[in-house]
Structure 1
Amino acid sequence: MIEEGRRRAYLDAMQINTWLPRCELPFAAPSRPELLQPIVVRTDAVPEPAVALEVLQASVVPASEPVAERPSVRTIPPAAKGLSLAERIKQGIGKGNTPAQPAVSVQAPAAEVVEDAAAAPASAPAAPPRFTLQLARAGKCLLLVDLPTGEPFQRRDPAYLLLKDILRAAGLTDSPEWIGEPVRWPQFAGTNFDQGPAAARDYVQGFIAGRMDAGDRCHCLWLVGHAAVRFAGNGDQDSYDTEMQIDGLGTGFAMPGLEDIMDEPQRKASLWKAMRSIRQRWLEQQE
């Protein structure tokens, strides 16, 4: 599989504007929902010109046939002849009017209502989340870092250089040791397996717990980025710069993503303030 930017460059070179894959591609931009919806044929659409012309011709009276003249004054019903003028006006009779008829409410049969509700398409399931997480070790801490581009860090990447500065300020080694391959989600593209947020959270937490059981013990689990905070610590953006307890994983420290810190440098102040209050957790263990 190739990344999204290179895929789009190939399509532009082949002068292909619209293209849909046979199955869901990992790390590809989501398709527009309106392109995947079936075309709905309306039954109450305007009739075609030929049909409309026939209806118009049928409604026109031929010139050869005489048109019957309508009476200018309507006759009063026999039952109303004995009534006074006030009673006729009260009942709406006279001067071309007929007695008012009671309104009749027309309701659709219950069976038709049930059929229309059954025919309505059910809401489509939520699309599986897409993220790439990399696990690393720095001293007595484990780091779960969100990779926005889906590719591992290079030595000269600005985000990686920022991570080294943060680790150095925290009193840890500035050369983290990457553990295994990145965790990519969804795992099974083009299948019917449940790959929603709950399944992704279970997978990420199980992956980290498995590494801890294999010997990668830690005194604090750093969650770097929104995807790491959400699927490893069950938190959100309000959890940034805070310490949290994670069932089965111990103590976690949530912080914004590296890209967010570079875009908003004012986040560094709140991050450093939160880190100073909890960094004794791993500094005491290293002494």
Structure 2
Amino acid sequence: MSVQAQEQQRHQWLEAIGIDSWLPRQPLPGAAAPAGWVADFRYPQADGAADFADYEDSAAESSLSGPAQGAAPARKPGGGSGIDTQALLGDIQTRSAPKPQPKPQTPPPAASADPAPAADAAAPTAQKPVEPAPHFKLAYLVRGDLLIIDSLPPHHREGFSRQHKRLLQGVTTALGLTAEQELSDPAMLPWPMLASKTLDQGPTEARLAVEHKLKRTLEFRPDISRILLLGDAAMHWVTGEPFKQGALPSLSGRTCVASISLSELLRLPERKAELWQDIQPIRNTAS
């Protein structure tokens, strides 16, 4: 089939289903040049008397070789357009109509002697409520064989300040440590560690974190033989016991004493005498 006949057939089909097609009759300014078949194209006449010689020859050859896929339908007798519009539309509607879906069969319920377990299994599992996170801040420092764990105000922005370090230098020197034994930088453990309402950072997790920190510190510095706990938070979270000033708790086989925090001593310098009394047991054992 020639290009002219193919385009004639395509436009005839478009007209049959109610679609108007437009072709240029003269060159349009700024537009691409039309295809060669456009100049000789003729729309079908109203009475269907258009001359489709090439198309008719192709249709005759198709009728001899049998029906082929995509072959054009036979023309109606009487010079009609050759397109059975009703049949075409009916075929389109048939193909576009939704196919009936088979109704799903509901399986019979399984016999159960005791339906109670199934009901219990379907019930949602109650989630364990998240415990409120405690708030504290601990500073870990080492000088010689002495480990100091100091309690800091949880919301204090400055943290372990120069005033804290200067005061601790004097306290540790009074315990018999020499100038060659330098005071380490503070390692901070703030709690809660993350700003999350869904993450479990309750008391149990806080105690595990403090225990882990102490264990790692003693593993890194096995020469530590004395521990000084300063403040309520250090005593409570490290030993699990309530704070008692001057207490001598047992901690990993090391000599340990609890006393006032450095922040309290900076706020109330007159309490330094109390600290001096509290640290006498570990001062006496210093080499």
Could you state the TM-score of these two structures normalised by the residue count of structure 1? 0.48
Larger radius of gyration: 2
Could you state the TM-score of these two structures normalised by the residue count of structure 2? 0.48
